[in-house]
Chain A
Amino acid sequence: MSNTSLTNSSLFQLSQMLANKAISSVELTQAFLNRIDALNPSINAYIALDKDKTLAQAKAADARIAAGSAEPLTGIPVAQKDIFCAKDWQTTCGSKMLANFIAPYDAHVITLFNAAGAVNLGKTNMDEFAMGSSNETSYFGGVKNPWDFDRVPGGSSGGSAAAVAARLCAAATGTDTGGSIRQPASLCGFTGLKPTYGVVSRYGMIAFASSLDQAGPMAKSAEDCALMMNVMAGFDERDSTSLNRAKEDYTRELAKPLHGLKIGLPKEYFAEGLDASVATVIEAAIAEYKKLGAEIVEISLPNTGLSIPVYYVLAPAEASSNLSRYDGVRYGHRAAEYTDLMDMYNKSRAEGFGAEVKRRILIGTYVLSAGYYDAYYLKAQQIRRLIAQDFVEAFKQCDVIMGPAAPSTAFKAGEKVDDPVAMYLQDIYTISTNLAGLPGMSVPAGFSNGLPVGLQIIGNYFDEARMLNVAHQYQQVTDWHTQMPDLTMPKDIA
């Protein structure tokens, strides 16, 4: 088997190869590390790599496999978004503020992957503090979309997205506050799932907007996402918003036929603002679902348009407070020169944060400040309820909701970076599920001008297994998810 087909294999296949000793974890990990060596300098998907640590984990995984105590992901190299604290790993959250921060503890998600025997391949690039839709706000530079190096991979989980698309990892983690798993999954052509809020612990995941942040898998297929979810999901007593539910097997419904599935199509998701070529791809995907026996119901989510204004009040408000801990006192960036305490704060924070993060802190500070709270923050929370109620009504008529994950395919680097409002509109189809706390996915559904288009599937609360089934059945009859960008590799590696 060539190394390319190895790095292109599904998690299930890799797991089997490891189990029957067709390959060792060290060999598999080394194959990915070689690919990273060759491609990462141009793609910039990773912020931190530590081959010694990575290979040590692979070696330990091999021992575990030999001892017969392997789990499905034991020995599998997974990329971790640099938003998760991983003990003794540089953990930057894409910011200069934390450029030298070596995490002294593991996030719950990292603990779970370690316990499962997965190999941490490295920390992936991201928009600074997850604030962005193009990965261009990262202090560590932008990330190339593997399908077109002139274009962005989406954001904020842009590094994980590019790593999955370019097969620089077997699978990756991402986080999604307003679409940061699904929009890059759409722009880079792979499968990404944002679970129901509270299903994956936020402990050790660096906070952006606490009431919206949720981690999830980014992988090549729905089946891979299900295997990742089996590791990531679960109750954690250290997170007050973690839901105390029984452990579930997210693969359990994959094989279920879709006959009789009711798909709701919100008319607001197909209105003005959606790129016509994206609409065509989504319609074709819906047609495929009809062939699989699904019924189509037209629904309405009337407050969709308000999700962006609401989000850009609530997320910055929470962020302005969450980011106050970066004050240069106990860790992180402290200005080199300062006169007094106030000056130390002002300079450390002005130097440590990038432009977009500062903008959001200022917006958040403003909407919470005396005299404006009711008009902005409280109002936004009220409309948030209206948006959530839209979904309650919609799910009375259908099992899942479908539509585009992003309004367009990947845009060019630099195109929107100076226009925050245009950038914010990237998340028009994804934000409302975060506000409602609902699970959402993006599934590769085709191409427009050679660029991937993602189909979004939104499920009801805790319907992840059902959504994965819906995506998996589609992936049994289509091959969009198996297509990968043509990346020129040096001969000795390819």
Chain B
Amino acid sequence: MEWEVVIGLETHTQLQTNTKIFSGASVKYGAEPNTQACEVSIALPGVLPVLNKEAVNCAIKFGLAINAEIAPRSVFARKNYFYPDLPKGYQISQFELPVVGKGAVTIQVPAVGKNAAYEKVVNITRAHLEEDAGKSVHGAVEGMSGIDLNRAGTPLLEIVTEPDMRSAAEAVAYAKKLHELVQWIGICDGNMQEGSFRCDVNVSVRKKGSDKLGTRREIKNLNSFKFMTQAIEYETRWQIETLEDGGTIHQATVLFNPDTGETRAMRSKEEANDYRYFPDPDLLPLEITEADKARIHAQMPELPEAMKARFEAQFGLTGYDAASLTASRELANYFVATVDKGAEAKPAANWVMGAISAKLNAEEKPLEDSPVSAEQLASLLKRIADNTISNNAAKQVFEAMWNGEGEVDAIIEAKGLKQVSDTGAIEAIIDEVLVANAAMVEEFKAGKEKAFNALVGQAMKASKGKANPAQVNELLKKKLTA
């Protein structure tokens, strides 16, 4: 029997603000416990919430970035439940009228095995503003949990998709795309270790061809793409096996254990919740005008989709290359800077996606820590373009630059990598080679094309790699056919 997995994501993105969503307490990460827990954060009697303007701006940016409806009037509601990290006994969130409505994100699903890469549109149901809870710390005192409310009240934008994804690969491609997008538009720092970007994944399975959704289980708080893949794959297998064994799936909230690679139902969420949502009487409706949207729009950077189209049109890049270069704002900026400094677009694209990316990956470095700047890369590419060095020599220069051995021209000089482009000098080398390899010349004349390449190789060797290969080719052909 063929099964199909159906996946939807709810992502909590921590918004890049200075202060909490409803108070002037700092949201800086890593402070001593409860030192950023002001009277509003700890919910003293009588305190009241006042909404942070910057959090609203972030929500508007996101709405604009995914072409969504931005609600002219949205409402904050209270979600009521008891938990020690939730000091008011309710979370201020948005329920019936969220700030961002329906939108869409286009994702690139990479090739896996024999399946080719493809593009897919994931629909966004909504995105709403809400406050984060605090943290429970275990183990400090025997049998007790310690509550730190520094995080309580941190602004979040919860982004909810339709159940549009059909594989772990699609879910991860979406999560990565969203992760890049929120950083691109500057609303989230994307730091998954610090919990700035956390995904809840709803997984259900059904028989292929069915249009009814199965019962879903929600995997909570995945904070790495690797875990997301593992968790979805495990959960999918578990659900299929359960159903095939004649069992039933019960709606549940589950946690992924990275050590075992398994998911398990949360004990604290066993009981059915009745959150008793109602409009927060402390907060009037949030109104966003066309002027607000226009003001925010003017502050926004060019979005990845638009930049991709521009790269294709302006630089003649392929769709794939343009998409790869716009996968992150840093990468795109680096590419643009390289071109701005005088490099040709296509080689620049190849080098950025090739040598630069490979080095960064190997050394697990972010682009901002690249020892080779866009300007340096441009100088290098210019030296290839003006025939100062060969492509092969360029690789050596790049390696040396990466290792901090200096600027392009100095390295070329020091290593003697300058290409010989003097026709006379190359002709002299070729003449020597032709004399020394008379047998090969005969073979070529007898129609063996391969012999030509061998002669080119000999000539290059004789020049110690410094001869311009194109010139060698040209001159050799001329002499042989003369």
Contact = CB atoms under 8 A, between A and B. Distances in A.
- Asked if A and B form a direct contact in the complex, defined as CB atoms under 8 angstroms apart, the reply is yes
A426 B78 CA distance: 30
Contacts of B282: 207, 210, 240-241
Contact of A107 (B42, B46, B89, B278): B46
B51 A240 contact: yes
Interface of B: 39, 42-51, 78, 80, 82, 84, 87-90, 147, 274, 276-278, 281-284
Given A240-B282, A329-B84, A330-B87, A206 B45 contact: yes
Nearest to B76: A240
Contacts of B147: 329-330
Dominant secondary structure at the B interface: loop
A377 B278 contact: yes
Size category of the binding interface on chain A: 35 or more
Given A240-B51, A345-B82, A105 B284 contact: no
Contacts of B47: 203-204
A95 to B, nearest CB: 10
B284 A93 contact: no
Nearest to A211: B281
A398 interface: no
A279 interface: no
B347 to A, nearest CB: 57
Nearest to A210: B281
Dominant secondary structure at the A interface: loop
Interface stretch (A267-275, A316-324, A408-416, A483-491): A316-324
16 contacts: A84-B46, A91-B45, A202-B46, A241-B284, A320-B80, A321-B78, A321-B80, A321-B276, A325-B43, A325-B87, A327-B89, A331-B44, A368-B276, A368-B277, A369-B274, A373-B276
B45 A325 contact: yes
A246 interface: no
B281 A209 contact: yes
Contacts, number: 96
Interface string A323-354: 11111011100000000010001000000000
Given A209-B281, A240-B283, A327 B45 contact: no
A85 B45 contact: yes
A380 B88 CA distance: 25
Interface in A203-228: 203-207, 209-211
B278 A240 contact: no
Interface string A419-453: 00000000000000000000000000000000000
B84 A341 contact: yes
B44 A105 contact: yes
Interface of A: 84-85, 91, 93, 98, 101, 103-105, 107, 202-207, 209-211, 237-241, 317-318, 320-321, 323-327, 329-331, 341, 345, 365, 368-370, 373, 377
Q: Which 9 A-B pairs have the closest CB atoms?
A: A324-B89, A211-B281, A368-B276, A210-B281, A204-B46, A325-B43, A206-B45, A206-B46, A370-B274
Contacts of A329: 84, 87, 147
A388 to B, nearest CB: 15
A240 B78 contact: no
B87 A101 contact: no
A240 B88 contact: no
A391 to B, nearest CB: 20
B281 A85 contact: no
B243 to A, nearest CB: 28
Given A324-B82, A330-B87, A345-B82, A240 B49 contact: yes
Nearest to B81: A324
A345 B147 CA distance: 15
